[in-house]
Amino acid sequence: MESRKVALVTGASRGIGRAIAVELAKNKINIVINYNKDEKEAANVAEGIKKLGVESIAVKADVSNFDECAAMIEAVRKRFGFLDILVNNAGALSDKSLKNMTKEQWNLVLRTNLDGTFNVTKNALPLIRDNGRIINISSIVGISGNFGQTNYAASKAGVMGFTKSLAKELGKHKITVNAVAPGFIDTEMTKNIPFIRKKIMIAMIPIGRVGLPEDVANLVAFIASDKSGYITGEVICIDGGFSF
């Protein structure tokens, strides 16, 4: 019997990453939960996933740190031996207009979102089997830009360029590389947006509501499946129609 597929989801202790991990587990895929700070929640997610009948471990690594990513991938190799699906989801914000943005804010966001995608993917690549899937969580802000988010928009646009280039490199192994660009999704990351601004944003979404982590997870689960093998190098927006 063919052994079960294995997926690594970064930043899966909450929000979109957790929803992706759960959805992949429902499809009988073994799951590695990556987290940086919230060990307790990451362990809870892994325990919940095991109840779905698959294996799951939580591994700590700061994705902005290359050596920690190498150690995480070594832990995956020891436990599972290979990877089929990598979801680069871990991300951070630190908003300020460029005039007021510090170098630390720039570094935090670029190192987590863009360097993090490189650090994890570079280390994971030798473990990813043919027909694998790499799915990078970008943002519509990487296409449209946003006031106060020069750092975040630059990092997410960078992820798109990374995605397209790597798709060209890995096609020969039938490994697809795609980016998912969510709009406004209801998570910790967006909880501090002022109420009135949220109302204005919702009014601009044709579907008429904020997105849920599960909306993104359903798309990622499709891209992660065998049914998506002819889709690569794409940036797929999921924003209720906000940006079209």
Closest CB to ligand NAP among residues 190, 218:
190
Minimum CB separation of residue 204 from ligand NAP in Å reads: 14
Does residue 123 interact with ligand NAP by CB under 6 A? no
Nearest C-alpha neighbor of 138 from the set 102, 94, 87? 87
Minimum CB separation of residue 6 from ligand NAP in Å reads: 19
Does residue 80 interact with ligand NAP by CB under 6 A? no
- Torsions phi, psi for 57 (to 5 deg): -130, 155
Distance CA 140, CA 189 (A): 15
Using CB under 6 A, pick the residue from 31, 90, 167, 170 that binds ligand NAP. Answer: 90
For 125, which DSSP code? G
Pairing of strands 30-35, 235-238: unpaired
8 Å CB contact between 9 and 87 = yes
Closest CB to ligand NAP among residues 191, 227:
191
8 Å CB contact between 179 and 235 = yes
Among 80, 118, 152, 242, the active-site one is 152
Distance CA 86, CA 20 (A): 11
For the segment 38-77, give every residue that binds ligand NAP (CB under 6 A).
Answer: 38, 62-64
Using CB under 6 A, pick the residue from 5, 8, 9, 11 that binds ligand NAP. Answer: 11
> How many residues make contact with ligand NAP (CB under 6 A)?
30
Does residue 190 interact with ligand NAP by CB under 6 A? yes
CA distances (Å), origin 244, targets 78, 143, 173, 206, 209: 44, 11, 33, 10, 16
Sign, Cα dihedral of 233, 223, 136, 199: positive
Active-site residue flag, 152: yes
Residue with tokens 């849920």: 212
Does residue 142 interact with ligand NAP by CB under 6 A? no
Using CB under 6 A, pick the residue from 150, 178, 187, 232 that binds ligand NAP. Answer: 187
Does residue 188 interact with ligand NAP by CB under 6 A? yes
Minimum CB separation of residue 121 from ligand NAP in Å reads: 14
Binding site for ligand NAP (CB under 6 A): 10-17, 34-38, 62-64, 89-92, 112, 137, 139, 182, 184-185, 187-190
